[in-house]
Chain A
Amino acid sequence: MQSSITFGSEETRLSMMERRRKVGVVWQAVFLFSTSLAILFLILLLFSVIDSTFGFAAIRYEMKPSELMDGKSQLSEFSRQQLEETAKTHLSSGILRRVEYEKPIADRTDKDLIALIEQYVLQPSVLRTWGLWASLTKQGEINEYLFDQGDAVLTFKSWLTIDFLFADQSANPLYAGIRTALLGSLWIILITFVFAFPIGVGSAIYLEEYAKPNRLTRLLQLNIFNLSAVPSIIYGLLGLAVFVRAMEAFTSGSLFTGVSDTTANGRTILSGGLTLGLLVLPIIIINTQEALKAVPDSLRMSSYGIGATKWQTIWGQVLPVSIDRILTGTILALSRALGETAPLVVIGASTFISVDPSGIFSKFTTLPIQIYQWSARPQGAYRNVAGAAIIALLILLMVLNSSAIILRDKLSKKKRMEA
């Protein structure tokens, strides 16, 4: 019997195959182009961040070491006694009192004293900074600038240092650090996790394992999907209305302590954490539901088949095989919360704060807010500080995300091998 499908003559068939091959090549090129473009933008982003974090800075000192002590061009050449004496005579009385209060001058190390004198007596100020690229390519322009300024000192500076991580805010970009913001971010994430994880996983278990698929459940499900797509600023407004205003007694801590010992008025870490908790809640619910859906029904059946209850089945069989996916999704949701700025600004996070958060009823700032605030400052050097803070934030996010991956691999490996 003759086949009813014909391919035409040998010639048309060959030309068709050639066309088919060409179409494939074109599409492959399109995909390669998109990938390259994405990689290019990523490289540009990294370059611009790194560019602002390292580079030359022209610094002018109000005083030179030689003006303090004849014949000494470096603070490190000072003797111990000279250092103590300089500190006592040249520090302004206000600063001296604070310094003495924190730790008496006599008990401080040489290095400590040099840093103090440098900051408050020599008083360096940044005149101008150059990015890494400019530092490497525009030597002539930099030298010209220095010549015009006369007494400015050029130093190659890495704005990201260990001190930068542990220093608090400062009006001088040379001494600004992210400790307060980092602590604020970590506190916020802790509250977000404690609030959103149990509620999110609990709701997901209920919706996936217990709820009957009726109209109400479908409506709920639809709303959860919609909520996960609501812009974060809306959550900020919700948090402002509910946590900061309506629940002020609770979120400011005055409900527990009688009086609020801060001036936060509900704009506390607790409010911020709860707001971000609301923001990531739908994401955690959806992700957990997906993880539970991925557990084959045969596992549940076999558990019921030997007389296990629903709860025993969920706790003993379903959760152990889905916990890796649940945790991975939760960590990814938390890293989204870590990068959120808008809702926290709306609920009134402080933008300039030099006091470390001491608990959940403290005022706070977070890394993204700090970065935003620095990049909006008129002094150019704060742009470099912001760059360093961006790198710190990116590293923090990378640590979180890779811990998610490691956790998942570890748990699923354990599942496969089962000691």
Chain B
Amino acid sequence: MNKTNLAESLPPVFQEKSKLEPKKTIIQLDDVNIHYGSFLAVKHASMEIYEHEVTAFIGPSGCGKSTVLRSINRMNDLIRGATLDGRVLFNGEDLYAKDVDPVLIRRRIGMVFQKPNPFPKSIYENIAWGARVNGYKGDYDELVETSLRSAALWDEVKDKLKQNALRLSGGQQQRLCIARTIAVQPEVILMDEPASALDPIATSRIEELILELKMDYTIVIVTHNMGQASRVSDYTAFFMVDENRTGYLQEYEKTEQLFLNPVHKKTEEYISGKFG
């Protein structure tokens, strides 16, 4: 069966997606190896991440998908002993070049974490603080409103902006974290299992939000949830772990391709739930 036939046989949602043309590369990993001390955590990862697409990283525990994600905005720098060789290019620029300031990268490539971690401040301050430390000079009220609207949280919190963010529910907190990330106007948003600590309803709201956000942002999401990867992502990278517990990129494809017609046996076994 050739690929054209396969595409026609796919459910409508996938057909629509597969019509999209390959887009501009925004992030490129070029033979990336990441060590924690002397332990090789990820080896030879090379891939291109496309602008305004949602890219999902899936794979069993310990396969290095989160490590790779954190290497994209140099959050790994904060982990003691973490080193990277190879190149990570962002709009063609090497993020690991000597003269690059990781702080500036993190504004352009924001991050949302697994556990919702709003600042122990008011909802308003949660949004405004990030903008302020990045030197935002515009109208803060407006920024707070647009950021909260983009994160589909405005209607729920507009009357209690002065309330402490920790009093929100888990799902609201996570959307606030997304709003906070949006407020500094990044180009890419990295999400490390953003819904794994949430209930199913909150999870589906996050997923809807991701689909809306991809109009304006490039999103890379790590997830353990195969259904989530297939629902929200355009591209999926499947990471595996070898006998030395070193992670590597096994397969990277358009999502429907990877899920319906995986090339590697391991991929097929993983997505069909044989291990993981």
B110 adjacent to chain A (CB < 8 Å): yes
Does B134 have its Cβ within 8 Å of any Cβ on chain A? yes
Query: By the criterion CB–CB under 8 Å, are A301 and B181 in contact?
Result: no
B163 to chain A, nearest CB (A): 7
Interface centre among B80, B112, B121, B183 (most CB of A within 10 A): B121
Stretch at the interface among B60-68, B100-108, B249-257: B100-108
Q: In the bound complex, how far is the Cα of B133 from the Cα of A269, in angstroms?
A: 42
The digit string for B80-116, where 1 denotes a CB below 8 A from any CB of A, is 1000000000000000000000011111101111010
Pick the contact of A306: B110, B122, B162 (CB < 8 A): B110
The 8 A CB mask of A328-353 against B (1 = contact, 0 = none) is 00000000000000000000000000
Give CA–CA (A112, B4) in the complex, Å. Answer: 111
Given contacts A302-B180, A306-B180, 11 further A-B contacts (CB under 8 A): A301-B117, A302-B117, A302-B118, A304-B75, A304-B103, A305-B73, A306-B134, A306-B184, A307-B104, A320-B120, A418-B122
Tell me, rounded to whole Å, the shortest Cβ–Cβ distance linking A298 to chain B: 4
B78 at the interface (CB under 8 A from A): yes
> With a CB–CB cut-off of 8 A, which chain A residues contact B177?
302
Q: A213 interface residue, CB < 8 Å from B? A: yes
Closest residue of chain B to A419, judged by CB? B162
Interchain CB contact under 8 A, A302 and B80: no
Contacts of A305 on B, CB cut-off 8 Å?
Answer: 73, 75, 106, 110-113, 181
CB of A255 to closest CB in B, whole Å: 42
| Per-residue contact bits, chain A 379-419, to B (CB 8 Å; 1 contact, 0 not) | 00000000000000000000000000000000000011111
Q: How many Å lie between the Cα of A416 and that of B121 in the bound state?
A: 9
> Which B-chain residue is minimally distant from A295 (CB atoms)?
B120
Known interface pairs A305-B110, A416-B164, A417-B164. Does A299 touch B130 (Cβ–Cβ under 8 Å)?
no
**Interface bits B46-83 vs A (CB < 8 Å: 1, else 0):** 00000000000000000000000000010100101000
12 contacts between A and B (CB under 8 A): A301-B78, A302-B117, A302-B119, A305-B181, A306-B111, A306-B130, A306-B181, A307-B134, A308-B130, A312-B133, A415-B164, A419-B122
Q: CA A307 – CA B73 in complex, angstroms?
A: 10
- When distances are taken between beta carbons in the complex, the residues of chain A under 8 Å from B180 are 302, 306
- Chain A residues with Cβ below 8 Å from B181 are 305-306
Residues of B within 8 A of A418 (CB): 120-122, 125, 162-164
**Residue B270 CB within 8 A of the other chain:** no
Q: Please give the number of chain B residues whose Cβ is less than 8 angstroms from any Cβ of chain A in the complex.
A: 35
B106 contact from A212, A304, A415, A419, Cβ within 8 A = A304
Considering the complex, which residues of chain B in the window 141-198 have a beta carbon less than 8 Å from any beta carbon of chain A? 162-164, 166, 177, 180-181, 183-184
The CA-CA distance from A320 to B121 in the complex, in Å, is: 10
Residues of B within 8 A of A308 (CB): 103, 130, 133-134
Specify which chain A residues have a CB less than 8 angstroms from the CB of B115 in the assembled complex.
298
Return the chain B residue nearest A416 by Cβ. Answer: B164
Q: Does B129 contact A (CB under 8 A)?
A: yes
Chain A residues in the interface with B (C-beta under 8 A): 212-213, 296, 298-309, 312, 316-317, 320-321, 415-419
Query: Could you say which residues of chain B place their CB within 8 Å of the CB of A213?
Result: 80
Which listed residue (B117, B130, B163) contacts A307, Cβ 8 A? B130
* A416 to B120 alpha-carbon distance, docked (Å): 8
Q: Which of A212, A299, A321 contacts B117 (CB 8 A)?
A: A299
Determine whether the beta carbon of B103 is less than 8 Å from that of A309.
yes
A72 to B118, alpha carbons, bound, how many Å? 81
CB contacts (< 8 Å) of A417 on chain B: these are 164
- Cα A107 to Cα B52 in complex, Å, equals 90
Bound CA span A37–B11, Å: 79
User: Does A317 contact B119, Cβ atoms closer than 8 Å?
Assistant: yes
**Which residues of chain B are near A312, meaning CB under 8 Å?**
133
Q: Which residue of B lies closest to A417 (CB)?
A: B164
Q: How far is the CA of A383 from the CA of B113 in the complex (A)?
A: 66
- Tell me which residues across on chain A come within 8 A of B112, comparing CB atoms: 305
Question: What are the residues of chain A within 8 A of B125 when measuring CB–CB?
Answer: 418
Interfacial chain B residues near A301, Cβ < 8 Å: 75, 78, 111, 113, 117
Instruction: Tell me the minimal C-beta distance from A419 to chain B in angstroms.
Output: 6
Nearest chain A CB to B58 CB, angstrom units: 22
Q: Which residue of A lies closest to B130 (CB)?
A: A306
Which residues of chain A are within 8 angstroms of B162 by Cβ–Cβ distance?
A: 418-419
Chain B proximity of A330: nearest CB distance (Å)? 22
- Give the distance in Å from the alpha carbon of A304 to the alpha carbon of B260 in the complex: 38
Complex-state Cα separation, A296 to B113, whole angstroms: 14
Contact: B129 with A316, CB < 8 Å? yes
In the A-B complex, the 9 residue pairs with the closest CB atoms: A307-B107, A305-B111, A306-B130, A418-B164, A298-B117, A307-B106, A302-B117, A312-B133, A308-B133
Interface centre among B103, B107, B122, B133 (most CB of A within 10 A): B133
Closest to A302 in B: B117
Q: Smallest Cβ distance from B106 to chain A, in angstroms?
A: 4
CB distance from B130 to the nearest CB of A (A): 4
Across the interface, name the chain A residue whose C-beta is closest to B166: A416
- Cβ of B105: which chain A residues have Cβ within 8 Å of it? 307
Q: A307-B103, A307-B134, A316-B133 are in contact. Are A298 and B113 (CB under 8 A)?
A: yes
* B113 and A302 contact, CB distance less than 8 A: yes
Q: How far is the CB of A125 from chain B (nearest CB, A)?
A: 64
Minimal beta-carbon separation of A313 from chain B (angstroms): 9
- Max chain B C-beta neighbours (<10 A), residue from A301, A312, A418, A419: A418
Q: Are A304 and B119 also in contact (CB < 8 A) when A309-B133, A416-B164, A418-B163 are?
A: no
